[in-house]
Copies of this chain bind each other. A is one copy, B any other.
Amino acid sequence: MSANSRLTIAAHALAWIGLYQRQGHAVATSEQIATSANTNPVVIRRLLGELRRAGFVESRRGGGAGWSLARELESITLLDVYEAVEPGPLFAMHRATPDQECVVGYGIQPAMQGIYDGIEESLRRELARVTLQDVLRDVLAAPR
The reply on A70 being an interface residue by CB < 8 A is no
Render A1-38 as a binary contact track against B, CB cut-off 8 A, 1 for contact. 11111011101100110010000000000000001111
The size class of the interface chain A forms with chain B is: 35 or more
Digitize A98-140: 1 where CB-to-B-CB distance is under 8 Å, 0 elsewhere. Answer: 1100111111101110110011001100110010001100111
The answer on a CB contact under 8 Å between B38 and A99 is yes
A94 within 8 A of B: yes
Task: Report yes or no: B89 in contact with A3, Cβ–Cβ below 8 A.
Answer: yes
A140-B107, A142-B107 known; A9 vs B94 contact (CB < 8 Å): yes
Contact A12/B107 with A3-B1, A38-B98, A78-B115 known, Cβ cut-off 8 Å = no
